[in-house]
A and B are shown apart, each in its own frame.
Chain A
Amino acid sequence: MYGLAMAKGLLVTLKNLTKKPFTVQYPEERVKQHPRFRGEEFVWYEERCTGCASCAKYCPLGIIKIVTTPSETAPAEGDKYRLEVFDIAINRCMFCGLCVEACPYDALFMGSGFEQGQYSRKNMVIDIDHLRQADKHPSTFFRPQLEDAGYDPRGGRPLHWQEVGRESWQWHQREKAGMMIDRPVPSDLLPEEALVDSSFVEDSQADPTPAAAEDAE
């Protein structure tokens, strides 16, 4: 019969009347944000950055501008450039995260924010000072070491440059970062404390592995 479908439709909407609304009243309430959210305010650790400009090379939009000069104070473990200019034209950024994926030293992270509205277009180009002073709430995008530690950028504490790297996470990542001179064979993986380079875990609370904490003492 024709009218039955309409009665059924009325019942559907009546059922919806009793449900809780989906709406999130944004400024007062927020949805839970995934820690892997690719957001604004790139998190950049100057201490970790060597100025290799991989991020600029991999950026599909070419919006990262890096100017470097040879550094006189390179650390003993690796060579390093000093950055004169590090501009990201964030108004053209599509937040693909390829710059973060390209960074070999875990120096660049996606941010977790999305409320960086500006009144002028030129304010949308964030420069090196801005990157230095930005909140260090790195997204866990492409950074499994942060995700394994259960870090949540929304509501988590700001991270120090020594706690965000992959070198204390897996041995081959440390080599990738140029921090291990002699690479252990996989059988050396056990026991684990032998693998932790004490020069990188001064901040013992920050390290996710208990072995690193022992080693730091």
Chain B
Amino acid sequence: MNCVLGPGNILHDTLLFRVIYEWVGQLLPCWMSYFVAGFVIMLLLVNGVLLGAGLFSWVERRLIGRFHNRIGPNRWGPFGTLQPLADLVKLLFKEDLTPAGADRIVFMIVPVALVAPVILMMAVVPFAKDTALVNLNVGVLYILAVTSITSIAIFMAGWASDNRYAMFGASRGVAVLISYEVPVVMSLLGVVLVSGSMSLDDVVSAQTIPFLLVQPMAFFVFLAGTSAELNRTPFDLAEAESEIIAGYHIEYSGVKFALIQAAEFGAVLTSSAVMVTLFLSGWSGPASNYLGWAWFLMKIGALAFIFSWVRASFPRLRIDQLLAFAWKFLLPLSIINLFATALEVYFLRDGAGILVTTDLWIMAGINFGIAAGCLLVFGTLIQDKVRPARPISGVTLSSPEVT
């Protein structure tokens, strides 16, 4: 029997899915081959994300080691490449503890609820030509919806652990996640405006020049907001080791801890993948019909390098500094960017509502100017808040009288 995926099917655009479906369809009934094809692709995605997380944990530890003039893990395997495997085996053999006062069901769900959004995010990301699992027409919205599961999972972890530090960490984590959600969404709206679509495939094909150039401010806001949402070092209040030991995952051990760690490292990769798709023109590049995946991986690597670099460089912010950075700096920046982009799109598009490459270059020039101005103004404004207040005129600090 011959199974053919009609163009009406939502998975029709997925090349790999269609090939597997039609190939397996020669042997099995169509409904069964549909499941087989879906299962194969999900297997690829899940294992890709988790193996990538393991690999990235090694890469990041080596990189941060070099940033700190250390060597990093180099004992097992060539250059220590088998270190993630050793970590995994160690964590698998550890006892899986549950605190006596824990809410067992919620406690058990948390690691899965943390890993799931990371993997779900990859479902709409095209990692080469026609290879997104689903080409959703609301892909950007889907990504935002899926990533916000994380805040619930973090709060569940804090609440279910029956531990004060876990609760502290969870409260901080949720505060950070909710605050940074706003500027991140606002910055994505600029990209959506320029590309005219929420489908990630369309966003990639709209990027005749990378949106990094067209939307520099949105990229900056998205980078900062994402690294806050990932709970990485300048923003890692939710798991501040020196203050609240490990934050929301303090009570997790063994396999659950391994899953939480995998989620954290995997989230870096998937967030980088989303950013590559939205701002760095995704898989497109020279010979992108065949080497799209290579370009995609290379760009992810570059972004992951930036994440590690930032993590190696900055100390942790205080909670008020962190929230002030979101509300007083990133949010105004993203609003300005949104309005500027809207005006530019309104005036530059042609009759059919399409922006040509020249329009994008013009927008790039204008937006870079706006970005520089905004950084100057807001940087100076924030500096006044950070520095000690100037002495009020007319009041002099008198030294004690020498008698």
Known: A13-B313, A14-B309. A2 touches B69 (CB 8 A): no
State the Cβ distance, A12 to closest chain B Cβ, in Å. Answer: 7
Tell me whether B67 and A23 are in contact (CB under 8 A): no
Tell me whether B312 and A1 are in contact (CB under 8 A): no
- Chain A residue with Cβ nearest B67: A13
Tell me which residues across on chain B come within 8 A of A3, comparing CB atoms: 375, 379
- Chain B residue with Cβ nearest A6: B314
Tell me whether B379 and A22 are in contact (CB under 8 A): no
Does residue A78 face the partner (Cβ distance < 8 Å to B)? no
Q: Looking at A13, A14, A21, A23, which has the most chain B CB atoms within 10 Å of its CB?
A: A13
Q: Looking at A4, A9, A14, A16, which has the most chain B CB atoms within 10 Å of its CB?
A: A16
Does residue B390 face the partner (Cβ distance < 8 Å to A)? no
Does residue B66 face the partner (Cβ distance < 8 Å to A)? yes
Tell me whether B67 and A10 are in contact (CB under 8 A): no
Q: Which of A1-37 contact B (CB under 8 A)?
A: 1-4, 6, 9-10, 12-14, 16-17, 19-23, 25
Tell me which residues across on chain A come within 8 A of B70, comparing CB atoms: 21-23
Task: Select B66's contact among A2, A9, A17, beta carbons within 8 Å.
Answer: A17
Tell me whether B313 and A9 are in contact (CB under 8 A): yes
Tell me whether A16 and B379 are in contact (CB under 8 A): no
State the Cβ distance, A6 to closest chain B Cβ, in Å. Answer: 7
State the Cβ distance, A132 to closest chain B Cβ, in Å. Answer: 39
Tell me whether B65 and A21 are in contact (CB under 8 A): yes
Interface size on A, residues (CB 8 A): 18
Tell me whether A2 and B313 are in contact (CB under 8 A): no
Tell me whether A19 and B380 are in contact (CB under 8 A): no
Q: Looking at B67, B310, B313, which has the most chain A CB atoms within 10 Å of its CB?
A: B313
Tell me which residues across on chain B come within 8 A of A4, comparing CB atoms: 379
Does residue B376 face the partner (Cβ distance < 8 Å to A)? yes
Tell me which residues across on chain A come within 8 A of B380, comparing CB atoms: 1-2
Does residue B399 face the partner (Cβ distance < 8 Å to A)? no
Tell me whether B310 and A10 are in contact (CB under 8 A): yes
Q: Which of B275-314 contact A (CB under 8 A)?
A: 309-310, 312-314
Tell me which residues across on chain A come within 8 A of B376, comparing CB atoms: 1
Tell me whether A23 and B313 are in contact (CB under 8 A): no
Known: A1-B376, A1-B379, A2-B379. A25 touches B71 (CB 8 A): yes
Tell me whether A2 and B382 are in contact (CB under 8 A): yes
Task: Select B309's contact among A2, A13, A20, A25, beta carbons within 8 Å.
Answer: A13
14 pairs of residues in contact across A and B, judged by CB atoms under 8 Å: A2-B378, A2-B383, A3-B375, A3-B379, A4-B379, A6-B314, A13-B67, A14-B67, A16-B68, A20-B69, A21-B70, A23-B69, A23-B71, A25-B71
In the A-B complex, the 6 residue pairs with the smallest Cβ-Cβ separation, listed nearest first, are A1-B379, A2-B379, A13-B313, A2-B383, A2-B382, A23-B71
